[in-house]
Structure 1
Amino acid sequence: MAILSDRDIVESMMTGYIGISDYSERGLTPNGYDLRIAEISVRGDPEVKREGTVTIPPRTMFYVSTVERVRMANDICAQLWLRTTWIRRGIIGAFGKIDAGFEGTLTLGAYNATDDPVEIPIGERFCQMVLETLNSETIKAYSERSGNYQGQTGITLEPLRKD
């Protein structure tokens, strides 16, 4: 397994091997890509925020959807890491791995672990996606296994597809 460098990411996008829609040069890091916030849903508030700055109350769970729509090849997966900017403000992220063959926006869970409100602007970089090559292509990609969130757009808390 190897991590893709900035050069690998750009070349892979140029050839169509992987996809990152709404790509921003600012998001490219030496060994990954920073995903931006498209919308935020604060637990207990029925309104999904899509513009401005969202205040996350103390000790509150919230969900973020990414601006970018990603498409992984069948031998590429990705780790997700909360940007240290948010960790330093008391945000804790609960992220999974992006499976080989996945395509869609991402829904990320996070928690304001402080006793103070935290302001998060829509459009800000939230987490880093670190792409990794698998030793070989999968027998069945994500869409052929569970594929519960394949093709999702926006904050998606329930599977799109039931097994």
Structure 2
Amino acid sequence: MILSKEEMEKRIESGSLILNPYSNDSQQPASYDLRSGEDYILRKGETTLVHSMERVELPVDVSATLMCRSSFGRRGVLIGGGYVDPGFRGNLTLCLVNMGAEDIELKKGERCVQIIMHEVTGGKTLYNGRYQDSEGAVGARN
């Protein structure tokens, strides 16, 4: 099941789900638009690691999928990867690939990636990997 706007807001209000700083302008009916944490230039033909402005903390019963917003997709931007396990805490590193014909300027605070949250039933295991408590854009860790 995908979490609705109302369910996300209820969980945020209770403190079980954290998107900080939260913006009503980013809330969609069944997703939330993550914002860029800094100014970036998405160079044509290149991959850029962009971090979310929001600190995300998922409870044990929520996972998430990341998708590029269609306004960026129409300009040739794709997202690499995009799954967030229950229990993740930190800024999300967004791997954006510009396959378009021109460089794209991404401003701090601009909505760039949708996070779609899913209910996880019966799980008890929380993410505790090498990207836990990430701050800023984090490259690959071995």
TM-score range, shorter chain: over 0.9
| 1:154 equivalent in alignment to 2:139 | no
Query: Segments of 4+ in structure 1 off by > 4 A?
Result: none
Q: Which amino acid aligns with 1:21?
A: N
Post-superposition shift, 1:4?
0.6
- Max Rg structure: 1
Q: Which amino acid aligns with 2:54?
A: E
Q: CA offsets per residue over residues 22-54 of structure 1, 9 Å max, x none? A: 000001000011100003xxxxxxxxxxx4xx4
Aligned to 1:66: 52
Question: 2:45 & 2:138 partners in 1: Cα distance?
Answer: 22
Q: Which amino acid aligns with 2:34?
A: L
Post-superposition shift, 1:64?
0.6
Contact 2:65 2:117 in 1 (8 A): yes
Question: 1:89 & 1:133 partners in 2: Cα distance?
Answer: 31
Secondary structure at the aligned position of 1:12 is classed as helix
TM-score (normalised: structure 1): 0.82
Instruction: Compute the RMSD of aligned alpha carbons.
Output: 1.3
Matched pairs, number: 142
Q: CA offsets per residue over residues 95-146 of structure 1, 9 Å max, x none? A: 32110111110001111112322222221001111111112123x2102xxx
Aligned to 2:35: 36
Stretches of structure 1 lacking an aligned partner (at least 5 in a row): 40-50
Stretches of structure 2 lacking an aligned partner (at least 5 in a row): none
TM-score (normalised: structure 2): 0.94
Q: CA offsets per residue over residues 65-124 of structure 1, 9 Å max, x none? A: 000001000111011111001001111111321101111100011111123222222210
Higher mean Cα deviation, 109-118 or 125-134?
109-118
